[in-house]
Amino acid sequence: MIEYIRGELAELSPATAVIDCNGVGYAANISLNTYSAIQGKKTCKLYVYEAIREDAYVLYGFANKEERAIFLLLISVSGIGGNTARMILSALSPAELVNVIGTENANLLKTVKGIGLKTAQRIIVDLKDKITTVGVPDGGASSGTTLLPTANTEVHDEAVSALTMLGFAPAPSQKVVAAILKEESSAPVEKVIKLALKRL
- The CATH 2.40.50.140 domain(s) of the chain lie at 4-62
- Residues 146, 139 contacting (CB under 8 angstroms): yes
pLDDT of residue 62: 97
- Residues 19, 10 contacting (CB under 8 angstroms): yes
CATH number of this structure's domain 4-62 = 2.40.50.140
Report how far residue 179's alpha carbon sits from residue 172's, in angstroms, rounded to the nearest whole number.
11
- Residues 89, 33 contacting (CB under 8 angstroms): yes
pLDDT of residue 140: 36
Fold of 151-198: Helicase, Ruva Protein; domain 3 (1.10.8)
pLDDT of residue 142: 36
pLDDT of residue 135: 63
Report how far residue 28's alpha carbon sits from residue 46's, in angstroms, rounded to the nearest whole number.
9
**3-state per-residue secondary structure call for 63-104:** CCHHHHHHHHHHHCCCCCCHHHHHHHHHHCCHHHHHHHHHCC
Segments of the chain with pLDDT less than 50: 138-146
pLDDT of residue 137: 53
**Residue range 65-132 in CATH 3.40.50.12170:** no
pLDDT of residue 156: 85
pLDDT of residue 194: 82
